[in-house]
Amino acid sequence: MRILFLGDVVGKPARQMVMASLNDLRDELAADFIIVNVENSAGGFGITPKIADAFLEAGADVLTTGNHVWDKREIFDYIDKQPRLLRPLNMPDGTPGQGVVQVSNQTGQSLTVMHSMTNLFMPETEPMFPHLKTALSGIKLKRDSDAIVLDIHGEATSEKAAAALYIDGKVSLVVGTHTHIPTADARILPQGTGFMTDAGMCGDYTSVIGMEPAGAIGRFLKDPQAKLAVALGAPSLSGVIVSTDDATGLAHEIAPFRRGGALSPTHNVL
């Protein structure tokens, strides 16, 4: 099975590029499933029901989010009705939505997507590691799902690496989101789980993590008039693609994916 994961989509130009590319990317990469992190897709902050529907109609199989999931208040009711839009699983009991979903494609393959948020340097939520353990206690690779992917949304690279090694061998892929910068460490861990610390963003890289430089720099200079706004230059698509073993569900190959905009494109796609 081949799974494409695209990192945080930042703003309108990036989301339009992603939506316009999904079907072609599915064909080009022979991707059986496509997962997209969409938490910054509505003006850089959050997601709306209309945008979520558009991503799903364009061909995304599952949408993940993160700390900005609730920035648009209208998403509260929607997320309870649309299981393919995930929020982190370690949010408190009673939080709308869910952090795990299983989907199937037309050939009968099944994919479980899990979504968590780290604790270091992030908004307060429940401890991540116990929640991962609980979630995986009821889902076994190949017994219950042909592949399992975890989007781990967080700031600290150490926490992402620790979590990936903690569940190594139990899931197909652990991929980090949130920092908007793609890391150069896509690899397969000792027990067979694919891992990349951060997928990067789908957005304009001639920016400060997707925002116009003037406003972002102004905030560092303590300018009270500085405001953040999405950078509107040519976006790059950034993410990771993993191929899983049919017998075990573990990673067989993994490679970063980059296309367009300011970033150098990848040519070693599986």
Catalytic residues: 68
Q: What is the rounded distance in angstroms from the CA atom of residue 138 to the CA atom of residue 212?
A: 44
CB 205 within 8 A of CB 236: yes
Cβ burial 159-170 (10 Å sphere, 16+ → b, else e): bbbebbeebbeb
From residue 163, alpha-carbon distances to 129, 167, 197 in Å are 7, 6, 10
Q: With H, G, I as helix, E, B as strand and everything else as coil, classify residue 51.
A: helix
From residue 2, alpha-carbon distances to 31, 74, 238, 260 in Å are 5, 33, 16, 22
Q: What is the amino acid identity at position 267?
A: H
Residue 258, strand partner residues: 238
Angle, CA of 202, 55 and 183, to the nearest 5° = 25
Query: Residue 97, exposed/middle/buried by CB under 10 A (0-12, 13-18, 19+)?
Result: buried
| The token pair that represents 160 in the structure block | 């992402």
From the list 151, 156, 260, 255, the residue with the least C-alpha distance to 203 is: 260
